[in-house]
Structures are given as C-alpha cells and as structure tokens.
Amino acid sequence: MIRRFLGRVFSGRLFRPAQPKIIPHGTHRIDRGAISSGALRTTQSLQRRGFVAFVVGGAVRDLILGRRPKDFDVATNATPEEVRELFRRSRIIGRRFRLVHVMFGPETVEVSTFRGANPAEESDQHVADEHGRILRDNVFGTQEQDATRRDFTINALFYDPATQEVWDYHDGVADLKQRRLRMIGDPERRYREDPIRMLRAVRLGSSRGLEIDAPTRRPIRRLAGLLAHVPPSRLLDEMLKLLLSGHAAEGVAQLRKEGLHHGVLPLLDAAMGRAAGERFVIAALKSTDERVRAGKSLSPGFLFAALLWPEVNAEWKVLVEKGEPPIPALYRAMDHVIRAQAGKLAIPHRHAADMREIWAMQPRFLQRAGRRPYRLLELPRFRAGFDFLRQRCESGEIDTALGEWWERFQHAGEAERAQMLVSDAEPRKRRRRRRRGPRAAPGHGVVPGGEV
C-alpha cells in the first residue's frame, strides 16, 4: 500500500498541477485589437526571447464583460531583472511585491513575475504580521501557482495575444457568465493575507454588477477591523478606484452594509447618521457617478470634500453656536475633520488643499453685493466651489435660489450683473438698518447655511 502511494507521488499522478481550461477566441470573443499597443509589444518582446507572457487579471475580465480596460497588466516567467534588461524604458518598483513598470509613451504596462505558492514562515522571502497580512513576498513560481495566488477567480484569467486563447485555472469565465464573485481558496485566510481584498470585493461587486458568493462574503464583517493595519496609502488607492468607478453610490452603500467604512471613512458614518448629511452624500455620489459615466473629469479633492462636508458643516455650526466667529470657526472645523481623517486615509496634501479651498469658498457665495462676487469669479477654483454649492442646493441643505443666482450671474452681461447686485443689496441695507446693537465685525455676519 505504501509502495503504491509513493508510486503515485513520484509519478506525478497524485499531485499533478491543475490543468487550465484553454478557451478559444470563438468562445471568449476577446478582440486582439482591444489590447493596448504597449501590452502587445510587451508580450511579443518577452515571447520572442523565449519567455512565457500573458495579459492577465482585470483587463481580461473586463474584456470578457464587454468593458474597456483602463490599463493592462502582463504576467511572465521572466524575473524582474530579466524584464528590466529587456526594456530600455522600464524600472523595478515595489517592496512587498517587486514589479516592473514598462513605459511606452504615456502608457505604462505593469509586468509581474509568476508568484509561487505560499512559502514557509521562516523563509526570508515571506514575512507576515501577527494578523496574517503578507508584508513581503517575492517567491516566484509557475503560472498555475500564480493563478492560485490571485484573489478572485475572475481575476485569474490569462490571455495570450499570439494564440488569442484564454487560460482559465479556476472557472473564472463561468463565474463571469453567472455574474458571481468568488474567492480562490479559503476566504478568511486570503483576507488576512491582504485585507484590501475586502474592499476590492465590494468594488468589483458594485461596479461590475456581480453578486459576492456566500463563502466569500461571510467573513468580511468579522474581519473588517484588519483594515486598520493596512498602510493608509493603499487604502486611499483602493477607495479612489471605488469612488471613481462610476458606481460610487452603490459601492459606499455596500461598504456600510458590510461594516467596512469604519476603517476607511470613519467620519462618513457620522455624516450618514444625520438626514441632511445623508442626503448630501448620496446626492454627491450620484453626481460623481454621472460625471464618470459621461467621461467628464473629476477631482479627488472635490469628491473627498463632498464626503466629509457634512461633518465639517456640523462642527462649524456647533462652534458658531458656542460664540466663535463664523469664519475662524469654519477653519477650525476644517482642520479638525482633516486631522481626524488623516489617521485612516492618506489623503495627499494637494487634495486636502483643494478640499479646504472648496469649503472656504462656501460662505463667500452668500456675499452678493459690491465687488465681492467679481473677486470670487476670478478665483482659479471658482468652478469647483460653485459645483459644490450647487450640490448643497440640490440636496436641500440650502435654498436653491442661491445657486440659481450664481448660475445667472456667471453668464450675465455687465449691465445685468450690476442690476443683480443692486437688487440684492437693497434688502441687505434694510436688514442692517433694523439690526440692533453694535455693528458686527467684518465676516462675523456669516452663519452656516444662512445669509450674510
């Protein structure tokens, strides 16, 4: 009996590598012309040198779904050093996973070497923290091992532009047809290896119209706290992909449903707990989705300003009610919210500066007399500030008449603008005459959500 067992081991019959399903072009229908020129040149150059090379992952998934990929990744059996030597305009990046970026004009193709099976803990090539998160992993292996190391079955698809075949090790094509998102291997272990996969599951489910299967979904809420141990820069990258996917409204709703928002946007929970804040955030997300689907540009700073505004606005009102002058109170509220968020999500300084500028403009929209409206129009970020104001109007936070006034003022001629300023200033004069007590200091008449 032992002899028969050993015979099966050494003959390869017991531990024979999994064989992929080779899916021909007539079945998967991926057009080679849909592959970017950089990805084609990368795979062709590697194959001419005798290496194995495939377009892999999300690009293959999206092409099968009939979507246009934003970028193309290549997987190969060549080491990073061999890839770097082959392409003049390339560089090795990464510490946790060493990759090569190959540049073709404005296009960058990310090339990874096939990853090996999870090595033993004592290996100096594999380091994990106490929660199971892999900190460094540069053990290379076979294509079959690489497929098993990927997160979801729909991301473990390899496309060979030369033969136009798709290699499928884990029935990812079948899962795509059934609109199902399924983890490769034990979901809990895979989430512990990389907690970002929980966010990715929500993003892919919402943006690709996929149902997360029960075993893949079950551990998420229980393991959500693991996101606290992920570098903020990686959280930011994944959140931007979700928020700019064109399905941000569904994605954020799913984040809250799974309890994942505490780890990335903790202030969002407080905002969504208030009726006015929830209306504003939902309106902002829907507006974002409309812009993305229409192919319009969108600033991440504007998006984060919208998500965090309800908390800024609420704190601003509290400070004013305590007697603090409105403008300093607004700046204090802005600083506090940004600091509180910075510990979870590494919002770059350039985006934080955009957020501050957009927020700081909001009281100035209430000032519609004299030269102030003209000076506001001249600001470089005026359009972003106005779009933000309009979002506040549409959500019901402030009177829509204010947004309509500014829409008209922007496009009016000089004579009409002058008339608008006069008609706007008269009621203010009457209010000032009725005002009792000493004259307010400059800027002190601004009330959150009110008039000047």
Catalytic residue IDs = 71, 73, 151
**Bridge partners, residue 379, by sequence:** none
Contact in structure between 251 and 225 (CB atoms under 8 Å): no
Contact in structure between 19 and 44 (CB atoms under 8 Å): no
Identify the helix (H) or strand (E) that includes residue 377: helix 372-377
C-alpha dihedral sign at 372, 376, 379, 385? positive
Residue 34 DSSP code = G
How far apart CA 347 and CA 353 sit, in angstroms, is 10
Distances (CA, A) of 391 to 140, 363, 384: 50, 15, 11
The token pair that represents 331 in the structure block: 């700046």
Identify the helix (H) or strand (E) that includes residue 402: helix 400-411
How far apart CA 360 and CA 278 sit, in angstroms, is 21
- Beta strands 99-104 and 107-113, pairing class: antiparallel
The token pair that represents 51 in the structure block: 């290496």
The token pair that represents 54 in the structure block: 């495939």
Which residues have CB under 8 Å from 316's CB, separation 6+?
A: 326, 329, 330, 333, 448
Q: What is the DSSP string of 303-372?
A: HHHHHHHHHHHHHHHHHHHTT--HHHHHHHHHHHHHHHHHTTS---HHHHHHHHHHHHHGGGGG--STTH
Please calculate the CA angle 97-109-32 and round it to the nearest 5 degrees: 125
Cα atoms found within 13 Å of the Cα of residue 416, Cβ hemisphere only: 9
230: left (phi over 0), alpha (psi -120 to 50) or beta: beta
The token pair that represents 203 in the structure block: 């993003």
The token pair that represents 236 in the structure block: 């930011």
Contact in structure between 41 and 47 (CB atoms under 8 Å): no
Residue 11 DSSP code = H
The token pair that represents 173 in the structure block: 């094509």
